[in-house]
Structure 1
């Protein structure tokens, strides 16, 4: 029996979001270690644009999941594995919304607007607030690190299913036919 796959929309969004998250993480790591300069400020803008884009694509992906169900898990996966997989996916969605939102509110608390692609100012939902700025920065960094761990676990599980279990799970999200 051939492996059932996710919809093409889900596959494209999955890999696009994955690439954008890796780019945002890499850029965030690079920019925070730079000395103050116009380049650093530009990198912060790019990082914010990536975050807003991830947020938007994740919202679209979540909506698409309402209209196209995920393919079933392989029959050999036990109940505990399916529960962990479902919980992990849910937690990843929470993080994919939480990381950009925490960065957005940190930016606002620091007194800066978020201007998407330098053209569209996002709504300012709160004014500058130095009292919570550092807490929001810490929250953003913690959520980012938790997301990194969860993404690595997600990748490890997919590779385990592909190379050890050989159950076709990874093929459900493979681009192409």
Structure 2
């Protein structure tokens, strides 16, 4: 009886002592979780990366099929079956680009990515203007292309002008990406496709 009372008193004392001890900070014990959260906010998701490169591939396809538009609508030369096929692919490709860009904008708003800390304020502003300018020009191109094909040919000059705007913004975007690749600052890596569980290099985790 005495032994049981003594054991119970010892158990209660140990429990009270344990309650008085300061609890360790879980965040300090798990730095990898904090680091992973920071990297999550500094890089694009796999879906965003896939959409980006799908749009790039479709833009190249639109450029390759664009000459068929003029040949198809040439009143002096009957269009060939190849040109008619390329014309249709160009039309449907533009529609797909519009849908993918709209989806990219939704994901961008739902999962915003922080601008790199190492960039100057004017560089962040320029990147913002170029990226959102590309979104706007691609959406407008899809809309004017749809209008030209199925509503009125009066939208064709606007569609052609927007193509030049898209090319100009894309050129600025590519030049900026090449500069970051040369500098190896990890910024361009944020849009690099990732395979498996290996994290992409970012300004926060890139090895020198």
Q: TM-score range by the shorter chain?
A: 0.7 to 0.9
Cα distance in 2 for residues equivalent to 1:174 and 1:108: 37
Asked if 1 retains the 8 angstrom alpha-carbon contact of 2:91 and 2:149, the reply is no
CA shift, 1:18, in A, is: 0.8
Mapped to 2, the partners of 1:31 and 1:168 lie a distance apart of 40
RMSD: 2.0
Task: Please say if 1:138 is aligned against 2:157.
Answer: yes
What TM-score do you get using the length of structure 1 for normalisation? 0.78
Q: CA deviation at 1:66?
A: 2.1
Is 1:40 the counterpart of 2:70? The answer is: no
What's the offset of the Cα at 1:30? Answer: 4.6
- Distance verdict in 2 for CA 1:41–1:30, change over 3 Å: closer
Q: Distance in 2 between matches of 1:77 and 1:32?
A: 43
Q: Which sections of structure 1, spanning at least 5 residues, go unmatched?
A: 111-132
Q: Which residue of 1 aligns with 2:175?
A: 156
User: How far did residue 33 of structure 1 move?
Assistant: 4.8
Shift of 1:93: 0.6
Query: Is the Cα contact below 8 Å between 2:180 and 2:188 reproduced in 1?
Result: yes
Kindly indicate whether structure 1 or structure 2 has the higher relative contact order, using CA contacts under 8 Å at least 6 residues apart: 1
2:66 counterpart SS class: helix
Q: Runs ≥4 in structure 1, deviation > 4 angstroms?
A: none
Following the alignment from structure 2 to structure 1, what is the Cα–Cα distance between the partners of residues 186 and 81? 48
How do 1:69-80 residues align onto structure 2 when only pairs under 5 Å count?
A: 69-70=112-113, 72-80=114-122
Contact 1:24–1:47 at 8 Å: present in 2 too?
Answer: yes
Report the TM-score, using the length of structure 2 for normalisation: 0.67
Cross-structure match for 2:103? 60
Q: Deviations over 1:34-83 (max 9, x none)?
A: 7522221221111011001111111111111122111x333221101100
Give the corresponding residue for 1:117.
none
SS class of match (2:177):
helix
Distance 1:43 1:96 in 2: 20
Matched residue pairs, number?
152
